[in-house]
Amino acid sequence: MKKYNFNAGPSVLPDVVLEAAAKAVIDFNGTGLSVLSISHRTPEFEAVLAEAESLMRELLCIPDNYKIYFVGGGASTQFFHIPANFLGGKAGYVHTGVWTKKAIKEAKYYGEVEVVASSEDKNFSYIPKGFEIPADLDYLYICANNTIYGTEYKCDIDSPVPLIADMSSNILSRPIDVSKYAMIYGGAQKNLAPAGVTFVIIRDDMLEQVKRKLPSMVNVNTHVENGSMFNTPPVFPIYVLSQTLRWLKAEGGVEAIHERNERKAAMLYAEIDRNPLFKGTAAVEDRSSMNICFVMNDGYEALADEFFAMAKERGMVGIKGHRLVGGFRASCYNACPVEAVEALVKCMQDFEKMHA
């Protein structure tokens, strides 16, 4: 049976990338060694690392005054790396869900945290707007896309203080103006690679703003100065990441994939809005293109398990909503094909015929 992978992460990767990774596990670039056991100090892997950085710089149009590095530990390690490096007085956080809650908790170990805006009053169903950003902040922190609640920043905000963004779940899904950010980071397991590597894009002037003496692995300068090689990097995820970036370039780059993502999201949201059995959970203007969240409409709640079973029978994988919000979630990352969304829409339409 054909499977349609809507998992929120680790998530779907392009078939061509999986094929390349499978071959590399047996024989990495003709070396006779597996990519799982190749030394990270070999010229062959150093070329992979250089290509990953070069392609990311090209695809995101990253200015020359930014550095890129890759590090293990997952994006959640950045929740404390960031304040450890940059929070000396006060930092501002826009609270939009679980991931910012966790980041705020970690930041409070290092200094004062001001929640400058929050959408908690409506269960994180929207992105706050029109709030004042205090000029005395060391930085302003946002989560660009919220996987659990299905909300997303649709444009790059202007900030009078250094702006730091967690883009774990929407990096390379739409064009961004990198110059508006002091730092962008994210885990790779949504749009780039299997779990295990975190990317960091950081403006040069931030490297001079480290506020305290830190363990080497926590200091951002360690990873910049050592070119992601201070310790053994996560070799296999970086290899897969480089292959995904190759695929994205071949597909036409970020603008082309953005158009495809918007088409997929529009198709599914249109069905959610049309179908009397379902309703969306996020404010229309803030709906995520990556994580599309919906529930059974009023009066049809008892049908949730039946719909989930039907979708599962038709090959839908990973559409159950997060345990905090329930309902359904279709994660439509870059590698999610249009065919998968069409199959889910058809399932919703057939379910309507059975019950409406």
Does the annotation mark 23 as catalytic? no
One of 166, 247, 264, 286 is an active-site residue; which one?
166
Residue with tokens 């249009």: 338
Check whether residue 225 and residue 174 sit in a common domain. yes
Angstrom distance (rounded) from CA 112 to CA 244: 39
Residue with tokens 């730091």: 164
Query: Domain total for the chain?
Result: 2
Check whether residue 109 and residue 143 sit in a common domain. yes
Q: How many CB atoms lie within 10 A of CB 17?
A: 22
Domain CATH code at residue 62? 3.40.640.10
- pTM value is 0.97
One of 67, 99, 286, 320 is an active-site residue; which one?
99
Does the annotation mark 3 as catalytic? no
Residue with tokens 């910012």: 100
One of 67, 190, 264, 320 is an active-site residue; which one?
190
Check whether residue 85 and residue 189 sit in a common domain. yes
Does the annotation mark 121 as catalytic? no
Check whether residue 201 and residue 322 sit in a common domain. no
Give the structural domain span for 194. 15-250
Check whether residue 186 and residue 311 sit in a common domain. no
Check whether residue 180 and residue 218 sit in a common domain. yes
Largest CA distance in the chain: 64
Q: Which of 226, 250, 274 is the last residue of a domain?
A: 250
Q: Would you write out the chain's pLDDT as a tens digit for each of its 356 residues?
A: 889 999 999 999 999 999 999 999 999 999 999 999 999 999 999 999 999 999 999 999 999 999 999 999 899 999 999 999 999 999 999 999 999 999 999 999 999 999 999 999 999 999 999 999 999 999 999 999 999 999 999 999 999 999 999 999 999 999 999 999 999 999 999 999 999 999 999 999 999 999 899 999 999 999 999 999 999 999 999 999 999 999 999 999 999 999 999 999 999 999 999 999 999 999 999 999 999 999 999 999 999 999 999 999 999 999 999 988 899 999 999 999 999 999 999 999 999 999 97
Produce one character per residue of 33-59: b if its CB has 16 or more CB atoms within 10 Å, e if not. Answer: bebeebebeeeebeebbebbbebbbeb
Domain CATH code at residue 272? 3.90.1150.10
Check whether residue 58 and residue 175 sit in a common domain. yes
Check whether residue 245 and residue 308 sit in a common domain. no
Check whether residue 329 and residue 280 sit in a common domain. yes
